[in-house]
Amino acid sequence: MPSLIRLLVILALLGGIGYGTLWAFANLVHPQPREMNLTVPQDRFAK
């Protein structure tokens, strides 16, 4: 039984680290907005 508890604790810690990493990326990283220009060939519209 102690090995099961150890496994659950390790999985909980890894899950917490993953959740914390995703939270940090979502809340602390601010993307730089920029203008985007894309030329679409005319033959793409003729289908």
pTM of the prediction?
A: 0.60
DSSP 8-state class, residue 2 = H
User: Is it the case that residue 43 has pLDDT exceeding 90?
Assistant: no
Asked whether residue 44 is assigned to any structural domain, the reply reads no
Task: Please report which confidence band the pLDDT of residue 36 belongs to, taking 50, 70 and 90 as the band edges.
Answer: very high
Mean pLDDT for the stretch of residues 14-41: 94
Asked whether residue 34 is assigned to any structural domain, the reply reads no
How many structural domains are present in the chain? 1
- CA separation (Å) from 30 to 14, 20, 21, 34? 25, 17, 15, 13
Asked whether residue 21 is assigned to any structural domain, the reply reads yes
Residue, of 1 and 39, whose pLDDT is higher: 39
Asked whether residue 46 is assigned to any structural domain, the reply reads no
Residue, of 25 and 40, whose pLDDT is higher: 25
Q: Which of 2-6, 25-29, 37-41 has the lowest mean pLDDT?
A: 37-41
| Separation between Cα atoms, residue 29 and residue 31, nearest integer Å | 6
